Amino acid sequence: GAVVSQHPSWVICKSGTSVKIECRSLDFQATTMFWYRQFPKQSLMLMATSNEGSKATYEQGVEKDKFLINHASLTLSTLTVTSAHPEDSSFYICSAPRQGPHEQYFGPGTRLTVT
């Protein structure tokens, strides 16, 4: 099946620093990728849609200046959490739809802890 990878799998950073998370589709191209955030014992909440070659589309309530998304190629999207604070600590997951039959495939997630 299709594989999506994320790096790093976990990261601890100090408050005020920035963290970059990479999402790669390993065996297919993805013009669109999605970024989700999941707090403990909650469902996945969509943060933004990453579009190759154009600006990301953010969901209501998500600060686009805080969560910078870059979709530089057909296999790579990055999420940068800028000036991270403890409330940004969460599990971040990316996904990419694969053509035919258009299933969404998810990365393994990145656990961010801001101290």
Partner 1 sequence: GIQVEQSPPDLILQEGANSTLRCNFSDSVNNLQWFHQNPWGQLINLFYIPSGTKQNGRLSATTVATERYSLLYISSSQTTDSGVYFCAVSYSSASKIIFGSGTRLSIRP
Residue 35 CB, shortest distance to partner 1, in Å, is 10
Considering the complex, what minimum distance in angstroms separates the CB of residue 39 from partner 1?
Answer: 12
Contact mark string toward partner 1, 40..79, x via CB under 8 A? ---xxxx--x------------------------------
Q: How far is CA 67 from the centre of its chain?
A: 9
CB 6 within 8 A of CB 111: no
Kindly report the backbone phi and psi dihedral angles of residue 48, in degrees, each rounded to the nearest multiple of 5, phi listed first: -165, 160
Cα 80 to Cα 2, 7, 20, 107: the distances in Å are: 25, 12, 4, 16
Residues at the contact surface with partner 1, assessed by CB under 8 A: 1, 31-32, 34, 36, 38, 43-46, 49, 91, 93, 95, 97, 99, 101-106, 108-109, 111
